[in-house]
Structure 1
C-alpha cells in the first residue's frame, strides 16, 4: 500500500528543508506520478523543480496546481508566486504579469506577490507602475518611523510620480 498524500508531501518538504533538493525532486515526481490530479502534489513538484533551477519543468506543475481544487490559501498564493516568478525568470513577461495580477487580486495582503509584480512590471517597460507598486508596498509594510513620517508625500508620489509643482 502506498503512503498517504500527506505523508508523501511531508517527505518532500522535509527533504527540501534539509537542503536535499535532488531527493525532494525525486520524491515529488514519484508522488506526482501516483497522484496526478492533486493540486498540493503538483505544487510541491513545481517547487522542487524551481529549487534546482529547472524553471521550464516547473511551469506545468505550477499551472496544474492552479487549475485544480484543494490548495489552502497559503499554498495557493505560493503557487501564484512560484509560477509568476518562474515565468519572469524565463522571460515570459506577459504570462508572469497575468499570473501575478491574478495572485494580487486574490491575495491583496500578501506582500511578496506585489514585489514580484513590480519586478515584472519593470521587465514589461511599465516603470511608473512598477515604482508606484513598490512605493505602496513600502508604505504598507515598513516599520521604519522615519519612512512613516513621509507617508503622505510617498503616497502622493505613488499615485502620480510625474507630479510637479510651481
Structure 2
C-alpha cells in the first residue's frame, strides 16, 4: 500500500468514526476533502452520501450515491446500503418514480433483502401502487416467521399477497 492509499484509509476510518460518534459535521468536512482528492473512489463517495443523509442534506447526498454505484469498489453490504440510501433519499425528496426505479433494481439485485423491499413498498405507496405495496409488505410479514400466529397463517398470507382480491 502506498502512502496516498494509507492516508486515504486513515482519513476514511476517522470520518466514519466521527459519524458513528455523532459528529457528522466534522465527518462531512473530512469526507468532502477526501471526495475531492479521490473523485472515483466508490467507498469514499458512499460514506460521503451517508453523512449527508445523516445531516438531512438529502439533495446533496444524491450525486455521491450515484457516483458510488456507477463503478466498482463497494462491498456487497455497502452496495445494498447505497441502493437503499439512494432510493430512500429520492423518496424523501418526493422523487417517487425514481425511488421505485432504484429500489426495484436493488430488490432485483438482492431479492433476500427485506429492508430494500420495505423501502420499495413505501415508495410504491407514494406512487399510488397500493396493491404492489401491500403485496410486498404481506410477503415480508409471511417471510419473517417469528410471530407464531403469522407462522400459523403463513400459507394464507402468502396466497393473499399474490392476489389481494382472492376470497379463498
3-state DSSP class of the match of 1:88?
Answer: helix
3-state DSSP class of the match of 2:166?
Answer: coil
Across the aligned residues of Structure 1 and Structure 2, the Cα RMSD in angstroms comes to: 1.2
Q: Which of 103, 106, 121 is residue 103 of structure 1 equivalent to?
A: 106
Q: Which of 143, 148, 152 is residue 149 of structure 1 equivalent to?
A: 152
The residue correspondences of 1:27-66 to structure 2 (distance < 5 A) are 27-66=30-69
Extract unaligned runs of 5+ from structure 2. none
Alignment pair present for 1:133 and 2:136: yes
What displacement does 1:60 show?
0.2
Matched positions, count: 165
Q: 1:20 to 1:142 in 2, by over 3 A?
A: farther
What displacement does 1:8 show?
2.1
Alignment pair present for 1:20 and 2:23: yes
Q: Which of 63, 70, 73 is residue 73 of structure 2 equivalent to?
A: 70
Extract unaligned runs of 5+ from structure 1. none
What displacement does 1:24 show?
1.1
